[in-house]
């Protein structure tokens, strides 16, 4: 009978029987019989087990723009999967019912082997698999096996992640995960500690390591009024991204109240415009405003001549100004992956 339990990757066991998990930057030290902070990895007599292998809680064919990825296979569909759980506890989580499920209700889902996932993706005409909705790092064993099979079938692999991987995990991702959207939630250690129960530094390190590993990276920041949207913080964040790669897209997204964080209002459009301007001032060539449908800031413009390269409306995308990956008007090269 299929089981959701699978021996974990990247852990070691001490003389006292405690396991140290090496998948995420928490590096949980888990005594026998206990679970890690994600609540889906358990020490059984010195063996660390994943409790969610194949335990799908969500599976949908989504536009790749929904991840959001604007420069990776634009206009295509991505088969998107998740198991329950997360290594963060964000007060503003928009998928909290499944990300926080192991803490509040236990683990649920439908057993689905990697072969069935890849078959469903191909059947629905998807060009990629996305590991998303919750945090893929905590179901890495399952994502890894799905990704290897997907790769052998000609599909690309995408992580939508909080970026809390260890260097060892990113080494395993290299050559297997083609693209990632990293949620850089703020540029403040206090915000990460108080609102996410995590740290900022490992996320920044992961973004740099992923780019060095030749993974296509885009970054998203959900702007929450009064918490992570000051001009000074936005300038520091944009400057950090520009130092890594000025062509790395940055998505600044509009906040809507959710979960335990309902005391902040919807993000004003002017805050998004200010963030876009901060990104451009820092030297970022591609900055997008999310959850602001119908605005020009959804479109991709040539940084050379400002010709529209990709026109978007919501999650639909039309390639209108590209000749391959170059601007049809001026010939300027772009980092877009087709």
Residue 315 lies in a domain: no
Report, as an integer, the average pLDDT of 220-249: 97
Statement to judge: residues 182 and 254 lie in one domain:
yes
10 Å Cβ neighbour count for 280? 16
The domain that contains 227 carries what CATH number? 3.20.20.70
Q: What is the pLDDT of residue 294?
A: 65
For the chain, give the percent of residues with pLDDT over 90: 92
- Provide the pLDDT confidence category of residue 314 given band limits of 50, 70 and 90: confident
| CB-CB contact of 269 with 255 (8 Å) | no
Statement to judge: residues 292 and 191 lie in one domain:
yes
Average pLDDT value over all residues in the chain: 96
What is the extent of the structural domain holding 22? 6-50
Quote the number of domains for the chain: 2
Cβ within 8 Å of residue 116, ≥6 positions away: none
Report, as an integer, the average pLDDT of 292-321: 92
Angle between helices 231-244 and 269-282 (to 10 degrees): 40
Statement to judge: residues 34 and 130 lie in one domain:
no
| CB-CB contact of 261 with 226 (8 Å) | no
Statement to judge: residues 23 and 159 lie in one domain:
no
Statement to judge: residues 213 and 292 lie in one domain:
yes
Task: Retrieve residue 87's tokens.
Answer: 């290594």
Q: Which of 74, 93, 71, 73 is nearest to 287 (CA)?
A: 71
Q: What is the pLDDT of residue 263?
A: 77
**Alpha-helical runs (H) found in 59-136:** 96-99, 101-104, 114-123
- Provide the pLDDT confidence category of residue 268 given band limits of 50, 70 and 90: very high
| CB-CB contact of 322 with 309 (8 Å) | yes
Report, as an integer, the average pLDDT of 81-98: 95
Report, as an integer, the average pLDDT of 9-20: 98
Statement to judge: residues 25 and 74 lie in one domain:
no
- Provide the pLDDT confidence category of residue 1 given band limits of 50, 70 and 90: very low
| CB-CB contact of 68 with 39 (8 Å) | no
Q: What is the pTM assigned to this prediction?
A: 0.97
Strands 77-82 and 128-131: parallel
Statement to judge: residues 219 and 96 lie in one domain:
yes
- Provide the pLDDT confidence category of residue 40 given band limits of 50, 70 and 90: very high
Statement to judge: residues 110 and 179 lie in one domain:
yes
């Amino acid at each position: 009978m299929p089981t959701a339990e699978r021996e974990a990757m990247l852990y070691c066991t001490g003389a006292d029987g405690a396991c140290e998990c090496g998948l995420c930057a928490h590096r949980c030290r888990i005594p026998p019989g206990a679970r890690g902070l994600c609540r889906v990895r358990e020490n059984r007599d010195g063996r660390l087990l994943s409790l969610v292998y194949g335990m799908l809680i969500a599976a949908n064919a989504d536009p790749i723009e929904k991840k959001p990825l604007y420069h990776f296979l634009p206009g295509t569909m991505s088969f998107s999967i998740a198991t329950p759980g997360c290594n963060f506890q964000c007060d503003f989580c928009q998928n909290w019912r499944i990300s926080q499920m192991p803490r509040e209700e236990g683990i649920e889902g439908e057993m689905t082997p990697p072969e069935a996932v890849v078959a469903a993706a191909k059947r629905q005409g998807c060009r990629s698999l996305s590991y998303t909705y919750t945090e893929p790092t905590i179901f890495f064993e399952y994502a890894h096996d799905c990704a290897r099979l997907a790769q052998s079938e000609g599909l690309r692999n995408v992580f939508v992640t909080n970026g809390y991987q260890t260097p060892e995990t990113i080494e395993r991702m290299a050559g297997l995960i083609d693209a990632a959207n990293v949620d850089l939630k703020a540029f403040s250690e206090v915000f990460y500690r108080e609102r996410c129960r995590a740290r900022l530094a490992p996320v920044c390190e992961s973004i740099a390591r992923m780019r060095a590993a030749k993974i296509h990276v885009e970054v998203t920041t959900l702007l929450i009024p009064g918490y992570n949207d000051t001009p000074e913080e936005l300038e520091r964040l944009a400057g950090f991204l520009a130092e890594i790669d000025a062509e790395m897209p940055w998505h600044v997204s509009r906040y809507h109240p959710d979960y335990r964080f309902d005391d902040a209002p919807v993000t004003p459009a002017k805050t998004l415009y200010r963030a876009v301007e901060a990104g451009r001032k820092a030297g970022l060539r591609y900055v997008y405003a999310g959850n602001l449908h119908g605005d020009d800031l959804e479109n991709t413009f040539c940084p050379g001549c400002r010709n529209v390269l990709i026109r978007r409306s919501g999650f639909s995308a039309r390639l209108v100004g590209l000749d391959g990956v170059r601007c049809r008007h001026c010939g300027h090269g772009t980092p877009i992956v087709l």
